[in-house]
Structures are given as C-alpha cells and as structure tokens.
Structure 1
Amino acid sequence: MAYCYSKWKLHGTVDRSPPEQPYPGVSILKPLTGVDPNLFSNLETFFTLDYPTYELLFCVENEHDPAVMLVNSLIHKHPHIEARLFVGGQRVGVNPKINNMQPAYLAAKYPLILISDAGIRMRDDTLLDMVQHMTEEVAIVHQMPFVCDAEGFASVYEKVYFGTAQARMYLSADFLGINCHVGMSSMVRRCALEEAGGLRAFADYLAEDYFIAKDIVSRGWKMRVSSLPALQNSGTRSVGALQARLRRWARLRIAMIPTTAMLEPLSECMPLGAGAAWAAGQLFGAEPLPFFLVHVLVWFLSDWLMLRSVQNGSPPFTKVQFLLGWVWSECCAPFVLAAALLSPEISWRTRTYRLEWGGRAHELNPKLKF
C-alpha cells in the first residue's frame, strides 16, 4: 500500500507557471542551536528559493552561539532576501524549540508559517510545492522525512531507515488519514494556529508537532503531505546519534499513544515474520524456518522498491551496502523500542525531560534561560 501510494504521491512536477492569484507570503522560522559542517550550505538554500514573497526568521537562544555569526554572514551575502535574526527566545513552556521560536513567531508578518529545522536542505522549488498543496480546506502541509546522499555506513543506515521503515509508516498513515505530522519541515496557516492558541499553547509538549496537528485537524481543517520529501543534511552522522533519535521518538510515541506504540513490533519485519512463521506452523503445518526466510526475502525486496521510489531513482550505494544497512536497521528496531520502554527519560541536546502519560513533559534539573 505504501509503495503504491508513494508512486502517486511523491516527486510530482512542480507547476512554475504564473498563478491566477498571487501566492501568499510565507514566514520561515529557523530555530538554530550550534553549528555543524553543513549548516552554512543548508541555510543558504533558503536564500535561493524560487518563490516570490517570503521572509527568513532565524532564532538563536544565546548571543554567543556560533550560529549568530554564520547567519549574519548569510544575511550580508544575500541582502535582497528579507531576513532577520532573533536572539534570546522567550520562555513559554518546557519545549526549547518553541521557546526559541516564540519571538520570531510573534514578529512573523505573513499568513503562512513554515517551521524548518536547522539540518534541512531545500530544493529551490520546495516552498512552491508546499504552497501549491495548501488548498482552501488545508491548514498543514508537511514533508515526509528523508535524507541527503552522503558517504559512510551511518549514512546508508540513515537512508535505509528513512526510505523504508519510516516511509512505510508515514505514507500508510497519511493514506489512512492518521496523524503522522513530523514538524522538521512543516507549513501551517497562521490563522489556524492562532485558533489553537498559537505556538505557546503547545510549549509543554516535546512532540509539539503531533499535538499542533491533532488540535488543528479537530477543528475541521485538513492536512497534506507535499510531494517533495524533507532532505535532512546533518554535518555529523553516526549510528549512535540516529539510534538516540529513534529512541527519543519511540519514547514520545509511547507517552502520547501507548496502545498504538505497543503494536509497533508487528510493523517490523523480524518480529512479525517470527510470529507469522510460528502461526503458519501451528495452523497449517508449514515449516517455520522456510516460511520465515521467504517472508524476510519478500520484505527485503519490497523495501528495495520502496527506497527507490522515495529516492526517485537508484540510491547512492550498492545492493550489498543496502543489504547490510537493511539487516542492521531491521535487527536493531526491536532493541530500540525495548530501550525506549525501559527508560522514561528523554535527552535532547543538553537537557533531560521526563514524560507524563498524554505527552506533557517536565524538565529535570532545568537551567535558567530566556
């Protein structure tokens, strides 16, 4: 189902012809903390977007953050682009991302708000594609998470995960109308967000993206996935860093929707295959091992097709590298979920949080900021 939907949904042609009515302006919020080797080139792609009216609002917690100098150099390099830097944030809850963005959000002057994480790289037609999906009944347009090409096993693992397991879940949820909103690159109507209380109304949740979408959709608005995936392009990749992200996301899902999270193992190749092989042996007398191996082979081939669809072509590595990355990803998945179940705390950059059922968070040993 996800594969068929991806062939229809992803990588559509962006219409660059002049519209009958002018496109609405977009305020792009870019929360930043620290720098990495790819940050300058990532941010510069936002200065070269093929879109008539937009502003860039960069948000930094601390005036001594090295991102300040980098942003100022880009603003100086592209004086024709309307861009501002907001330093210091405003504490409105425990979520540091919302605290960082709050002053920029209040100063945003356009009816569409795009929240874009620091590690996102944009094609020049991405903003146009997202706006074209923002029809009258739609209030949120978000990009499916994916990654840029890079070298090394960590990059293979990252691309395999986001192009197979994550893509299956994301596209299936969108097809079935289930809230799958991930806020790393998400556009929202400001009027709809204001109806929900603005950004500050979600500042006590770490998964603010999920709760923003839940609230806005409950008010009768619709949500759409754009045709171009979000291209994450972190300058520092490692297996451990990706698994830490996956554990954090799993803990958030467990706290927000525990009944659904408990069914997650049934969406993974190895646990599902083992259960299905045992059931086939009990019910039909089938040999469990051959059944399991055929199940794994079919799943592997399906994931190869899924990755090619999300990549919109051949991935930048060999089939042997894909096999190694796929086996590692699938074998690690149950252990990542188990680790998330065993620890109720979430580490996010330099902060640690404890989650309550329902998704609200409390910072442990908070540092006085803002």
Structure 2
Amino acid sequence: MMPMVYTVYGFAIFFIVAWVCLWLIHIMAYSYSKWKLHRTVDRSPPEQPYPGVSILKPLTGVDPNLFSNLETFFTLDYPSYELLFCVENEHDPAVMLVNSLIHKHPHIDARLFTGGLRVGVNPKINNMQPAYLAAKYPMVLISDAGIRMRDDSLLDMVQHMRDDVAIVHQMPFTCDAEGFAGVYEKVLFGTAQARLYLGADFLGINCHVGMSSLVRRCALEEAGGLRAFADYLAEDYFMAKDIVSRGWRMRVASLPALQNSGTRSVGALQARLRRWARLRIAMVPTMALLEPLTECMPLGAGAAWAAGQLFGAEPLPFFLVHVLVWFLSDWLMLRSVQNGSPPFTKVQFLLGWVWSECCAPFVLAAALLSPEISWRTRCYRLDWGGRAHELNPKLKF
C-alpha cells in the first residue's frame, strides 16, 4: 500500500513542478517579448559598411501571394545584397514569375537557378545548392517562399550579427489574413509557438527555425556547408546545433518572420504541425512524453488532480481558473507579438484559441501513430536522431 501512496504523491509533485515551470515560462516569454520584439531599427549610417548578403529563395510552385511576397525582397532598405532564386524544375510556373520580377527591377542584383543539385535527401537543400555555391557575399539569408519582408527586416537582422554571432533568425509569425484559418494560424504562432520560441531563446536552447535565417557563411563552411545537413529534413535544427557547438552564438531578430501563404486552410496547417511534431519526436524522443505538458488542457488537468492530492484543492475550480488565466495570458502574448491589437475580435480569438488548444493533443497523437512524413510530392521515414530516408525516391532529381 505504501509504495502506491508514494507513487501517487510522486506523480502529483511532478505535475505541480511542471505546472509551476510552465507558468514561469509564460512570465519569462511575455517579459522577454516586450523587451525583444519590434525594437526600432537604427537607420543611421554605420561606422563600418554593412556586409553584403546573399539571399537564397527556394521556390516550388506559385500561390496567389507569391508575386507580392517576392517583390518585398526587391525593395529592401539595405545597401548591398543579391537575390538568388532557386527552382527545382525549369518548367515550374515560378520561373516565369521570377523572370518578370527581375525584368521589373533591373537595378537589383538577382539571378535564377534551375535544376538544383542532389547532395542528399533534403529537397530544399538540393534546390538551393547551386545558388549557395554561386553566392558572393559573406552573409547568407535563407528565406522560404511564403515569407513577406518589411523594408527594414534585413537591416534589423544584420544589426543583431555581432562578432561572436553566426545565426540571426526571425521568430515565426504570420501576416493578417481573413477567415478562420487565418485566425487559427495567428493565434497558434502568436501564443503557444511564440511562448516556447522566446522562452527557449531566453534560456539558450536551440529553437532555430530556418524559414528566415541569416547565417555567417564562414561558420557554415566550418560545418561543411549546406550539403553537410542534406540528409536531415530538419536541417535548420542540426545546422544551428553544429554551428553553436563550435563556439558561435545564435540570436533572434527583433522583427518576426511574416508568413504569408496565399492558400491557408485548417487542414494544411494541421498537416504542417504533424510534420513538425514527427521531426521533433525523431530528433528528441523524450519530446513525445514531455510535449503534452506544454499544452494548456493536459497540463491543467494533471495539475488540478495533483493539487487535489497534495493540498486538498477542488480539481474542477482549479482547472477552470488555470484555463482562464492561461487564456488571458495568451491574449497578452498575442498583442505583444502583433505589436498591437490583432485583426479580429475577442470572440474570434476565443474560438481560435479553443480550437488550437483542443487540437494540440490530437496533432501530437497523429504524429506518433503515423511516423512517415509527407513533404509536397515526396514521402520520408526518419531514423532516431533525425536522419531521413526517402520512400520511393525519384531516379532523377
């Protein structure tokens, strides 16, 4: 009987400790966001010239916002940069769109690379490899197709690049969009994702997401260049891990990365979240056990039970207060990340927040039950540690 009692109390203490730690992360992330995000970019002339930046833009297909997204890179307020567009297939409709932008902005140094170069499993790195080899500047910005840039975003990133820093990355966020999918996406990236991203950065944990990442090329070459990470689908995580292990530092920029996909849907976002969850589980298997404790509902239920066991608290009122305070703190976090009021009502926020929180455990469960990863037209299986193998690979890249 006594071992059972000790086991119950052990689990109860574990849940209470996890609950306290998560609330400390809430406070830490919100405070850090108020200090870190949306700081004024210094546009005064520097004492030393800013380094040149080679911007790699891997593209596949065209969506309704691609033209306007790409055009923001032609209007950056930065003295010296080149645009290197990468398209895997020369018959891809993105080729015509890129050529039209190059023709429209002849004063910008821009080139198009087609065909890619197969150096591993990761199609994004294969697509970028020829442009990376041709890049002429000491800084490389890897930027996904769906990113929309403010004119001062690149300047902000470069100003964070100190002598001991090798990676400056933007925290993932989203542009304003209409419809429930747009609300869901903004709530997700402005609350749960932002909290963990900022908390990890504050604590010095690798949270690198490569959708908009400025890398010092010499540091990347020390690690073997892009091709060194071509056998991983989560190349951004392993790139940061390798570079930081060599003594370099990593920083988050003040301006978030503005994702602006032209085809938003709840299903597409959840498929993306499942893919990310599978990658995290393969890279760090303990995440499968600990990740539910970062979510409001599972953590609140466990803490409510634990409070009843340890302190005689009523579980239901404890749980309801927990959810209410979590909801209010997420509203404050979203306002901080948005740098103002979000483009929807509090009722819409409530609906998006409830949907996001209720779906999170099911997204993780789906990732555990189906280990294969679908990425566009390809399918992969991951080994423990994150190395990927393509299933039914194409004979020719």
TM-score range, shorter-chain basis?
over 0.9
Where does the alignment leave 5 or more consecutive residues of structure 2 unmatched?
Answer: 1-27
Q: Aligned partners of 2:396, 2:146: CA distance in 1, in Å? A: 23
Q: Aligned partners of 2:379, 2:317: CA distance in 1, in Å? A: 45
* Structure 1 residue 285 displacement after superposition: 1.3
Alpha-carbon displacement from aligned partner over 1:254-313 (angstroms, at most 9, x marks no partner) = 000111342011110000000000011111111111110000000000000000000000
Q: Is residue 303 from structure 1 mapped to residue 330 from structure 2 by the alignment?
A: yes
Tell whether the 8 Å contact from 1:50 to 1:128 is kept in structure 2 after alignment.
yes
Of 351, 365, 369, which residue of structure 2 is paired with 1:338?
365
Secondary structure at the residue paired with 1:28? strand
Q: Aligned partners of 1:341, 1:335: CA distance in 2, in Å? A: 10
Aligned residue in 1 for 2:259: 232
Secondary structure at the residue paired with 2:73? coil
Tell whether the 8 Å contact from 1:141 to 1:226 is kept in structure 2 after alignment.
yes
Once structures 1 and 2 are overlaid, which stretch shifts more, 359-368 or 69-78? 359-368
Secondary structure at the residue paired with 2:113? strand
Q: Aligned partners of 2:385, 2:294: CA distance in 1, in Å? A: 23
Q: Aligned partners of 1:138, 1:219: CA distance in 2, in Å? A: 11
**Alignment RMSD, CA only?**
0.5
Q: Aligned partners of 1:126, 1:140: CA distance in 2, in Å? A: 15
Aligned residue in 2 for 1:256: 283
Q: Under a length normalisation based on structure 1, what TM-score does the superposition of the two structures give?
A: 1.00
Aligned residue in 1 for 2:146: 119
* Structure 1 residue 156 displacement after superposition: 0.2
Q: Is residue 97 from structure 1 mapped to residue 124 from structure 2 by the alignment?
A: yes
Tell whether the 8 Å contact from 1:35 to 1:67 is kept in structure 2 after alignment.
yes
Q: Aligned partners of 2:93, 2:222: CA distance in 1, in Å? A: 36
Q: Aligned partners of 1:139, 1:255: CA distance in 2, in Å? A: 26
* Structure 1 residue 212 displacement after superposition: 0.2
* Structure 1 residue 121 displacement after superposition: 0.1
Secondary structure at the residue paired with 2:155? helix
> What is the correspondence of 1:293-332 to structure 2 with a 5 Å cutoff?
293-332=320-359
* Structure 1 residue 351 displacement after superposition: 0.3
Tell whether the 8 Å contact from 1:254 to 1:262 is kept in structure 2 after alignment.
no
Tell whether the 8 Å contact from 1:268 to 1:330 is kept in structure 2 after alignment.
yes
Q: Under a length normalisation based on structure 2, what TM-score does the superposition of the two structures give?
A: 0.93
Secondary structure at the residue paired with 2:177? coil
Q: Aligned partners of 2:118, 2:76: CA distance in 1, in Å? A: 31
Of 113, 137, 143, which residue of structure 2 is paired with 1:110?
137
Secondary structure at the residue paired with 1:357? coil
Aligned residue in 2 for 1:144: 171
Q: Aligned partners of 1:299, 1:330: CA distance in 2, in Å? A: 11
* Structure 1 residue 369 displacement after superposition: 3.0
Q: Is residue 58 from structure 1 mapped to residue 99 from structure 2 by the alignment?
A: no
Larger radius of gyration: 2
* Structure 1 residue 155 displacement after superposition: 0.3
Q: Aligned partners of 2:375, 2:35: CA distance in 1, in Å? A: 36
State the identity %: 93
Q: Aligned partners of 2:46, 2:228: CA distance in 1, in Å? A: 35
